[in-house]
Amino acid sequence: MGALLMGSAPLAHAALSPAEQKIAATVEAGYEPAIGLLEKVVNQNSGSMNLAGVRAVADMLRPEYEALGFTVTWKPMDAAKRAGHLIAVHRGKAGGTKMLLIGHLDTVFEPDSPFQKFERKGGASGGDWAAGPGVADDKGGVVTMLLALKAMQAAGTLKNANIEVVLTGDEEDSGDPITIARADLIAAGKRADVALDFEGLAQDNGKDMGSIARRSSNSWTLTATGKSGHSSGIFSASAGDGAVYELARIIVAFRKALPEPNLTFNVGLIGGGQSADVDKDGVRIAVTGKTNIIPPIAVAKGDFRTLSEDQTKRVRAKMQAIVDADHLPGTGASIAFDMGYPSMAPTTGNRALLAKLNGINADLGLAAMPELDPLKRGAGDIAFVAADTDGLVGLGLASSGDHSPAERADLSTMKRQAKRAAILMSRLAGEKGRK
């Protein structure tokens, strides 16, 4: 069993059907070609704002899906100021489970990043690790997806499978408005019975974990106002308390009143004074002022993350109430919310999917995958379809250092991840769809 966990030659397990044994063997045989494809796509820069680079990666992947019998469409996202999305559809047996596979083409590394090239540790024909921009997030996941689909084709299980693939071109920096940028993904989710997300495999103390939930990612901008005047008059009836004290009142109230399970909230940027101008990107505040001037304006920006949409609504309402109530003398305040990625709650349907995956783990001789604490997983595209379909997250590669020049992928996880995904999709394809 230990050798199988490391991805060596597959062992025969009685619980695997002949087709599933063929899947396992095909994954083993296709591993090195898959690493070759991974190197090719990693070496093509596709930072979210490198629109031509994102399209180039899509062009590299298009023939891979077409060779498997998928109808491939490129959906431009000019209206959202992003490159676009690659959508591939495979029509299988009528009435069967409709599966949505989710990944993304872009990375956080733009063309001016010094981190640009794939490097395999241990040489071209060996080594378990590779470094490179997006090698795990999410080019490694997309290549794992393709390896699984190729194994299904070889085993004869792809022909009956109803699969829609959506590879977004702006997961790392989503286009605006989000209603346009995610319209195609949301529509695909409404058609699907099951959504499988090929972002990174979560591990805890070296153990593969099952991810059935992702928290939301929402941001807020808080603006406090006051009366400008000489500091000698601070706290007087005529001058009031000033904008900075009002901002501080609200932030302290957030810290005291908001905490609850599965919620985090952060103040990431703050400034106040005679003026406080937030730049167009929302990442800098230019502040002017003097120690002897009561500040008329103060601004803070932050985020909050929740595990369910009910929690999102409740926390937002509590924040609004704190901002609106009990202003300090001579001050006012307002808060604006930017609702980014929704949450993916840990539902009964998601748990049932993980149970099916763990049945496959048992058949493969792999350890069961416990549920991952959702506090250990960030937001992602699957959350946009979570309200409409059951989902499972993390069918890509295990990694470390994501979103930094230290990003490394554990290539050895590709084999077991592709086997898990291919067998799960094959078994789902034999079930009756719900939509």
Q: Which of 277, 310, 341 is the last residue of a domain?
A: 341
Examine the domain organization and report whether 156 and 25 are in the same domain.
yes
Is beta strand 194-197 parallel, antiparallel or unpaired with respect to 98-104? parallel
Q: How many domains does the chain have?
A: 2
Note whether residue 434 is domain-resident: no
Examine the domain organization and report whether 282 and 349 are in the same domain.
no
Q: Which residues contact 355 (CB under 8 A, 6 or more apart)?
A: none
Q: How far is CA 69 from CA 37, 152, 192, 309, in A?
A: 19, 12, 19, 37
pLDDT given for residue 4 in this prediction: 35
User: Could you give the count of Cα atoms lying within 13 Å of 81 in the half-sphere of its Cβ?
Assistant: 7
Write out residues in the chain with pLDDT < 70, as ranges. 1-14, 122-127
Examine the domain organization and report whether 312 and 361 are in the same domain.
no
Distance CA 234, CA 51 (A): 52
Examine the domain organization and report whether 49 and 154 are in the same domain.
yes
Distance CA 147, CA 103 (A): 14
Note whether residue 192 is domain-resident: yes
Following DSSP, what letter does each residue of 389-404 receive, concatenated?
SEEEB--S--EESTTS
197 dihedral zone (left: phi>0; alpha: psi -120 to 50; beta): beta
- The CATH number of the domain holding residue 258 is 3.30.70.360
Q: What range defines the domain where residue 300 resides? A: 217-341
Helix ranges (H only) for 325-397 are 348-364
Return the structure tokens found at 92. Answer: 């299988």
Examine the domain organization and report whether 185 and 304 are in the same domain.
no
Distance CA 186, CA 166 (A): 10
Examine the domain organization and report whether 319 and 377 are in the same domain.
no
- Whether omega for the bond prior to residue 177 falls within 30 degrees of 0, making it cis, is yes
How crowded is residue 347: how many other Cβ atoms within 10 Å of its Cβ?
A: 16
Note whether residue 435 is domain-resident: no
| pLDDT tens digits for range 78-106 | 999 999 999 999 999 999 999 999 999 99
Q: In 3D, which of 95, 302, 308 has the Cα closest to residue 216? A: 308
Examine the domain organization and report whether 173 and 259 are in the same domain.
no
Note whether residue 355 is domain-resident: yes
pLDDT given for residue 65 in this prediction: 98
Note whether residue 275 is domain-resident: yes
Q: In 3D, which of 213, 193, 175, 261 has the Cα closest to residue 379? A: 213
Note whether residue 410 is domain-resident: yes
Q: Which of 341, 366, 396 is the last residue of a domain?
A: 341
Helices first, then strands: H and E counts in the chain: 10, 20
Return the structure tokens found at 71. Answer: 């109808």
- The CATH number of the domain holding residue 34 is 3.40.630.10
The β-bridge partners of 85 are: 75
Task: For the full predicted model, state whether its pTM sits above 0.85.
Answer: yes
Examine the domain organization and report whether 86 and 176 are in the same domain.
yes
pLDDT given for residue 121 in this prediction: 83
Return the structure tokens found at 362. Answer: 């048992």
Examine the domain organization and report whether 319 and 356 are in the same domain.
no
In the chain, the amino acid numbered 426 is: S
Note whether residue 285 is domain-resident: yes
Q: Which of 276, 308, 341 is the last residue of a domain?
A: 341
Examine the domain organization and report whether 177 and 307 are in the same domain.
no
Examine the domain organization and report whether 105 and 122 are in the same domain.
yes
Examine the domain organization and report whether 170 and 129 are in the same domain.
yes
pLDDT given for residue 127 in this prediction: 61
Note whether residue 360 is domain-resident: yes
pLDDT given for residue 134 in this prediction: 97
